[in-house]
């Protein structure tokens, strides 16, 4: 028997569930040296942590292989979100069903009076969220005096979400001789401090990178112009056609904007952010599980604890703030041995920072460009042929209808109509700015540019600076049109450009409003006025840009059928679309004099 060291009721449950072997983290917590000890465990999301701590506290919950009479809780499991807490309770239920274990849940959004009744009737395990558990504790409904084990699941996320006080209150209310098990995808300093405070001689277990690690997730990083971020999202969704995809944004406003844009384009999408009620969250998640929706746009916090078995594509629309957030987000896919893809959309100025973050996280990523409409049409053709040539069972009604169609149309016409029907259900891909399309022309004297002010940007050829995306960025940040930008000189590390003196002050004021305290915008681009002529080694460049359909007067851009792309609108007074966010790149320019 593969699980001979486990209590028979748990071994039988694992076999019935289809387990043939334990995952690395599950095997580590049932080793003899882990028995009865406090544990500090780091393991990737989706590596079987719930079953792992369920096995680790078996000796705490069972007496001679079965659960004793229910009374005060013997174990407390704390999770950061309602969804994760309910998922934990569900996993423990099947694992301990034969043992007769009683499990009570205490989570926000549920009937608190019903939870209090369940606690009063006696239980073996309480699973809940920090806030609701503390509320029951302070009201006297939750008695932790008999607690033998406390488990903190996704401990790092709970600290990030501001639950430190709640966790300390719950742990302080339980016996000091209890076991404390901390499970976390990463072990930052706050987790280390928490472990030192509440654990005794804890056994450190790390299975990050073992067996699974990043092996089930293919990481891709695509570089785009800041104004093309939303178009890149569209093309990624169309290229992969994932059964379920999750798109990560930094703020609820950006989630709202991107979700509306996707729905307008014909994608079956739902949104999850802090502005949605629990009922709305439940409906959105159910739509994803029922396949009525295939795309979920979410913030980091809103997506925590969500487990979607069909999720195969994660897109970082806005860059994660650090490697830990990258791993948390990407860990939504590639679960239970299934393959997943995580794509980072990287604005050109942010490539160096993202490259460094990937190296620090030891994540091998493939760099490239966003899928083009030609790439998507090729994928569509292959998918259509596969779908239409697949064998199907035909009943009598279908056969009769097919015969009627054959009598009125040729086979070629019927096949063409079938292909057209399939294509009509697919949102159209988007054209992206082509860096190699046209060679920028040098521009000489222009009327209105006799008296100008030179400005500089902290990006140059090494950051893939190109007038085709720089010009829309200047128009957006300075609230000007492309006709109000003069010569552009691109150097190795910086770019300089002209603005008529008559509007220079207004341009500078608008730029300042779209920048953070360090002078950079969300893409890591800083703009400031300079004295004198452009650097001698800067190559003069001016794009030949035509106004494309829907481009408006703010510097053109790729054609679109809906609202402006999120990156292009992110600092507009009328919009809060998706932005290329993340840590700030070093400011390599001088401050204005």
Asked if residue 458 is part of any domain, the answer here is: yes
| Partners of residue 299 on adjacent β-strands | 249
Asked if residue 247 is part of any domain, the answer here is: yes
CATH number at residue 343: 3.40.50.300
Q: Check whether residue 417 and residue 487 sit in a common domain.
A: no
CATH number at residue 470: 3.30.70
| C-alpha neighbours within 13 Å on the C-beta side of residue 190 | 16
Q: How far apart are CA 123 and CA 71, in angstroms?
A: 5
Asked if residue 465 is part of any domain, the answer here is: yes
E strand or H helix at 499, and its extent?
strand 495-500
Q: Check whether residue 106 and residue 144 sit in a common domain.
A: yes
Higher pLDDT, 321 or 570: 321
Could you tell me the two tokens for 108? 């926000």
**Residue 27 pLDDT > 60:** yes
pLDDT value of residue 185: 75
| Partners of residue 105 on adjacent β-strands | 127
Q: How far apart are CA 93 and CA 85, in angstroms?
A: 12
Residue with tokens 């009479």: 69
Model confidence at 565, pLDDT cuts 50, 70, 90, reads very low
Task: Determine the distance from the C-alpha atom of residue 537 to the mean position of all C-alpha atoms in its chain, rounded to a whole number.
Answer: 41
Where in the sequence is the domain holding 552, given as residue range(s)? 452-557
Model confidence at 506, pLDDT cuts 50, 70, 90, reads very high
SS3 content of the chain, % helix, strand, coil (to 5): 40, 15, 45
Contact 29, 55 (CB under 8 A): yes
pLDDT value of residue 215: 53
Q: How far apart are CA 474 and CA 483, in angstroms?
A: 11
E strand or H helix at 16, and its extent?
helix 8-16
DSSP characters over 304-350 = TT---TTEEEEEESS--SSHHHHHHHHTTSS-TT--EEEEEEEEGGG
Q: How far apart are CA 549 and CA 383, in angstroms?
A: 30
**Of the residues 387, 405, 424, the one at which a domain ends:** 424
Q: What is the pLDDT of residues 100-129, one digit of tens each?
A: 999 999 998 788 999 999 999 999 999 999
Beta carbons within 10 angstroms of residue 90's beta carbon: 15
pLDDT value of residue 115: 95
Q: Check whether residue 66 and residue 171 sit in a common domain.
A: yes
Q: What is the dihedral of CA 555, 557, 561, 565, to 10 degrees?
A: -90
- Name the nearest CA neighbour of 40 among 207, 213, 179, 202: 202
What does pLDDT average to over the chain?
82
Q: What is the dihedral of CA 74, 80, 84, 89, to 10 degrees?
A: 10
Model confidence at 230, pLDDT cuts 50, 70, 90, reads very high
Q: How far apart are CA 185 and CA 288, in angstroms?
A: 25
Its pTM stands at: 0.59
- 381-389: list long-range contacts, CB under 8 Å, 24+ apart: 383/241, 384/419, 384/422, 384/423, 387/422, 388/418, 388/419, 388/422
CA–CA distances in Å: residue 351 to residues 159, 221, 434, 494: 29, 9, 18, 15
- Name the nearest CA neighbour of 466 among 154, 133, 180, 226: 226
Model confidence at 308, pLDDT cuts 50, 70, 90, reads confident
pLDDT value of residue 516: 81
What's the mean pLDDT in 354-376? Answer: 90
Higher pLDDT, 356 or 450: 356
Q: Check whether residue 137 and residue 221 sit in a common domain.
A: no
**Of the residues 178, 206, 234, the one at which a domain ends:** 206
Q: Check whether residue 28 and residue 84 sit in a common domain.
A: yes
- Name the nearest CA neighbour of 331 among 321, 341, 322: 341
Q: How far apart are CA 571 and CA 470, in angstroms?
A: 15
Q: What is the pLDDT of residues 69-82, one digit of tens each?
A: 999 999 999 998 88
Asked if residue 564 is part of any domain, the answer here is: no
| 3-state secondary structure (DSSP) of residue 146 | coil
Asked if residue 301 is part of any domain, the answer here is: yes
Q: How far apart are CA 225 and CA 222, in angstroms?
A: 10
With pLDDT > 90 as the criterion, what percentage of the chain qualifies?
Answer: 43
Asked if residue 313 is part of any domain, the answer here is: yes
Could you tell me the two tokens for 150? 């406390």
What's the mean pLDDT in 487-501? Answer: 89
Q: How far apart are CA 529 and CA 520, in angstroms?
A: 14
Q: Check whether residue 190 and residue 234 sit in a common domain.
A: no
Q: Check whether residue 305 and residue 324 sit in a common domain.
A: yes
Task: Determine the distance from the C-alpha atom of residue 371 to the mean position of all C-alpha atoms in its chain, rounded to a whole number.
Answer: 20
Q: Check whether residue 67 and residue 129 sit in a common domain.
A: yes
Model confidence at 169, pLDDT cuts 50, 70, 90, reads very high
Q: Check whether residue 480 and residue 394 sit in a common domain.
A: no
Model confidence at 437, pLDDT cuts 50, 70, 90, reads very low
Could you tell me the two tokens for 29? 């917590």
Could you tell me the two tokens for 295? 């795309």
Q: How far apart are CA 593 and CA 589, in angstroms?
A: 12
Which range is least confidently modeled, 55-64, 140-149, 550-559?
550-559
Asked if residue 591 is part of any domain, the answer here is: no
**Of the residues 334, 353, 372, the one at which a domain ends:** 372
Q: Check whether residue 309 and residue 269 sit in a common domain.
A: yes
Q: What is the pLDDT of residues 211-224, one digit of tens each?
A: 444 457 899 999 99
Q: Check whether residue 182 and residue 271 sit in a common domain.
A: no
Q: Check whether residue 493 and residue 383 sit in a common domain.
A: no
N-to-C CA span, the chain: 77
Higher pLDDT, 226 or 576: 226
Question: How many structural domains comprise the chain?
Answer: 4
Asked if residue 106 is part of any domain, the answer here is: yes
Eight-class DSSP state of 210: S
Q: What is the pLDDT of residues 440-493, one digit of tens each?
A: 443 445 556 778 889 999 988 888 888 888 888 898 899 988 888 888 888 888
């Amino acid at each position: 028997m593969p699980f001979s060291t486990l209590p028979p009721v748990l071994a039988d449950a694992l076999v019935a569930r289809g387990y043939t072997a334990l995952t690395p983290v599950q095997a580590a917590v049932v080793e003899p040296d882990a028995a009865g000890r406090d544990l500090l465990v780091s393991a990737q999301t989706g590596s079987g942590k719930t079953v792992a701590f369920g096995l680790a506290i078996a000796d705490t919950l069972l007496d001679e292989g079965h659960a004793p009479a229910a009374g005060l809780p013997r174990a407390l499991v704390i999770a950061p979100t309602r969804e994760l807490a309910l998922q934990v309770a569900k996993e423990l239920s099947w694992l301990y069903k034969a043992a007769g274990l009683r499990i009570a849940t205490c989570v926000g959004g549920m009937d608190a009076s019903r939870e209090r009744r369940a606690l009063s009737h006696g239980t073996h395990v309480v699973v809940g969220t920090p806030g609701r558990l503390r509320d029951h504790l302070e009201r006297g409904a939750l008695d932790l005096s008999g607690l033998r084990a406390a488990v903190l699941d996704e401990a790092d996320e709970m600290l990030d979400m501001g639950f430190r006080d709640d966790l300390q209150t719950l742990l302080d209310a339980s016996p000091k001789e209890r076991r404390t098990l901390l499970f976390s995808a990463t072990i930052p300093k706050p987790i280390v401090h928490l472990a030192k405070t509440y654990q005794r001689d804890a056994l450190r277990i790390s299975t990050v990178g073992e067996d699974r690690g990043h092996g089930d997730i293919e990481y891709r990083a695509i570089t785009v112009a800041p104004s093309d971020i939303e178009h890149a999202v569209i093309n990624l969704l169309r290229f992969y056609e994932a059964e379920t995809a999750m798109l990560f944004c930094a703020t609820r406003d950006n989630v709202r904007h991107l979700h509306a844009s996707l729905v307008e384009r014909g994608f079956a999408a739902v949104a999850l952010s802090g502005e949605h009620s629990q009922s709305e969250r439940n409906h959105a998640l159910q739509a994803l599980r029922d396949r009525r929706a295939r795309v979920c746009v979410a913030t980091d916090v809103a997506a925590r604890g969500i487990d979607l078995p069909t999720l195969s594509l994660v897109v970082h629309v806005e860059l994660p703030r650090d490697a830990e957030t990258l791993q948390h987000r990407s860990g939504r896919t590639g679960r239970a041995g299934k393959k997943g893809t995580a794509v980072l959309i990287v604005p050109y100025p942010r490539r160096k920072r993202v490259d460094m973050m990937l190296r620090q996280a030891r994540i091998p990523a493939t760099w490239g460009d966003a899928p083009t409409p030609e790439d998507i049409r090729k994928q569509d053709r292959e998918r259509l042929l596969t779908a239409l040539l697949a064998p199907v069972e035909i009943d009598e009604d279908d056969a009769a209808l097919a015969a009627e169609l054959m009598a009125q149309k040729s086979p070629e016409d019927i096949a063409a109509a079938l292909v057209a029907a399939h294509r009509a259900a697919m949102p159209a891909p988007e054209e992206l700015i082509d860096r190699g399309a046209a060679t920028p022309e040098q521009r000489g004297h222009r009327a209105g540019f006799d008296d100008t002010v030179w400005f500089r940007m902290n990006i140059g050829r090494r950051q893939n600076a190109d007038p085709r995306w720089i010009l829309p960025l200047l128009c957006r940040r300075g609230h000007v049109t492309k006709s109000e930008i003069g010569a552009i000189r691109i150097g190795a590390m910086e770019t300089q450009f002209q603005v008529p003196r008559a509007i220079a002050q207004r341009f500078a004021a608008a730029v300042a409003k779209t920048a953070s305290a360090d002078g950079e915008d969300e893409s890591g681009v800083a703009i400031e006025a300079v004295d004198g002529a452009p650097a001698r080694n800067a190559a003069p460049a001016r794009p030949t840009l035509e106004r494309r359909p829907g481009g408006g007067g703010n510097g053109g851009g790729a054609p679109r059928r809906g609202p402006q792309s999120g990156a292009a609108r992110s600092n507009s007074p009328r919009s809060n679309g998706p932005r290329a966010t993340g840590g700030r790149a070093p400011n390599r320019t001088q401050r204005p004099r």
